[in-house]
Structure 1
Amino acid sequence: MLKEHQITWVILAGGQSSRMGGHDKGLLDYQGQPLIRRVIDALQPQVTLLWICANRNQAAYRQYAPVIEDLYPDYPGPLAGLHSALKHAETEWVGILPCDGPYVSPDLAQRFCQATKTDAKIYVAHDGEKYQPVYALAHRTVLGQLEHFLEQGERKVMRFFDQAGACPVDCHDIQSMFINVNTPEQLCNSQNLQTS
């Protein structure tokens, strides 16, 4: 079984946040602290190596963790963050999760480690109904295949994961982890959810 020190976990904070009016989602206030802080506070006790992938406001993010950025221009999406992480990491495995999901399960890293008993090179969270592709774990050997995929102009995360033979990670009992914040309304609603 994979051990936690063999994984570099990367919080994806590199998007344009167009549905949030262009505001950097990871730095938005959530119950008195930035969203990114919530994610880090939940993840850090579980992991050995933790980075942030951000394409702007890097100085603000560096106060929380080391920062990398996309190597592909024009905000091509989560796969570009995974690509950059695989290029930079010294570990064999890279895990990703989004900056806008404040309800990270306290056993997320453990679930992914336990799932790696197969020969798959990518593992993706499954909530019991569908995949949650921005919660994933990938082996460095998929890097060449990922670069080819991105250079073809492809951007769809699950299309690449399907091509790479991704294996599901059972997360049916922690569906609330996948509540994310994409719009001002969702930010308000998720804060109300947490406090109600």
Structure 2
Amino acid sequence: MLEEQQITWVILAGGQSSRMGGHDKGLLVYQGQPLIQRVIEALQPQASLLWICANRNQAAYRQYAPVIEDLYPDYPGPLAGLHSALKHAQTEWVGILPCDGPQVSHDLVQRFCQVSDNNGKVYVAHDGEKYQPVYALAHRTILAPLEHFLEQGERKVMRFFEQVGARPVDCHDIQSMFMNVNTPEQLLNLQAQPIT
């Protein structure tokens, strides 16, 4: 079983937010706070190493945590954030989660630590029906196949994780964590949810 100090957790805030009219999702206000602040506050008690991957507004994000950026151009998606994290991290394991999911479970890190072992290379949250691939834990040994995947122009997160033998992390009882913000309407709907 992993210890939390063996993992660098990276909040992915590097997207273009095209469905949000280009507004940087992590800096949108949710129940009085920027989304990134909600995620940070939920994750900080669980994680000793915490970064943000952002491709713009980096000064704003540095208020919350150290910032890295994608090493691939043109916003290639979450796998580019994972790639950058694996390149920068001093730990053997890197965890990822999105900036636009403000209801992070208080035991998210513990769930990943409990199921991980030396045989698996990627662990992915599973909500009881499907994988939630932007909530994942990956070992540094996937870096070379990840680079190959990205250099082929591939972007599908779960397709890559399946190639490297993804294992599920049971999160069926915390499905609300996977409610995220992709459009202005979703932000309004999420605002109406009670604070958890």
Q: How does 1:176-195 map to 2 (within 5 A)?
A: 176-194=176-194
| Residue of structure 2 in register with 1:116 after alignment | 116
Work out the CA distance in 2 between the residues paired with 1:21 and 1:142: 34
| Residue of structure 2 in register with 1:32 after alignment | 32
In structure 2, the residue corresponding to 1:136 is in which secondary structure? strand
Q: How does 1:158-169 map to 2 (within 5 A)?
A: 158-169=158-169
Runs of 4+ with deviation above 3 angstroms: none
* Superposition deviation, residue 194 in structure 1: 2.1
Work out the CA distance in 1 between the residues paired with 2:118 and 2:193: 37
| Residue of structure 1 in register with 2:88 after alignment | 88
How many residues are paired up?
Answer: 196
Unpaired segments ≥5 residues, structure 1: none
In structure 2, the residue corresponding to 1:185 is in which secondary structure? helix
Work out the CA distance in 2 between the residues paired with 1:118 and 1:95: 16
In structure 2, the residue corresponding to 1:10 is in which secondary structure? strand
* Superposition deviation, residue 118 in structure 1: 5.8
Work out the CA distance in 2 between the residues paired with 1:33 and 1:154: 35
Work out the CA distance in 2 between the residues paired with 1:52 and 1:71: 14
With the length of structure 2 as denominator, give the TM-score of the two structures: 0.98
Mean Cα deviation higher: 94-103 or 112-121: 112-121
1:20 aligns with 2:16: no
| Residue of structure 1 in register with 2:73 after alignment | 73
Amino acid at match of 1:81: G
| Residue of structure 1 in register with 2:8 after alignment | 8
Work out the CA distance in 2 between the residues paired with 1:93 and 1:75: 23
Work out the CA distance in 2 between the residues paired with 1:31 and 1:187: 10
Per-residue displacement from partner, 1:86-122 (whole Å, max 9, x unpaired)?
Answer: 0000000000000000000000000000010361100
Per-residue displacement from partner, 1:123-145 (whole Å, max 9, x unpaired)?
Answer: 00000000000000000000000
Work out the CA distance in 1 between the residues paired with 2:157 and 2:163: 10
In structure 2, the residue corresponding to 1:194 is in which secondary structure? coil
Unpaired segments ≥5 residues, structure 2: none
| Residue of structure 1 in register with 2:45 after alignment | 45
Amino acid at match of 1:100: D
- Report percent identity of matched pairs: 84
Amino acid at match of 2:163: Q
With the length of structure 1 as denominator, give the TM-score of the two structures: 0.98
In structure 1, the residue corresponding to 2:141 is in which secondary structure? helix
Q: What CA RMSD, in Å, does the superposition of the two structures yield over aligned residues? A: 1.1
Work out the CA distance in 2 between the residues paired with 1:67 and 1:169: 27
In structure 2, the residue corresponding to 1:46 is in which secondary structure? coil
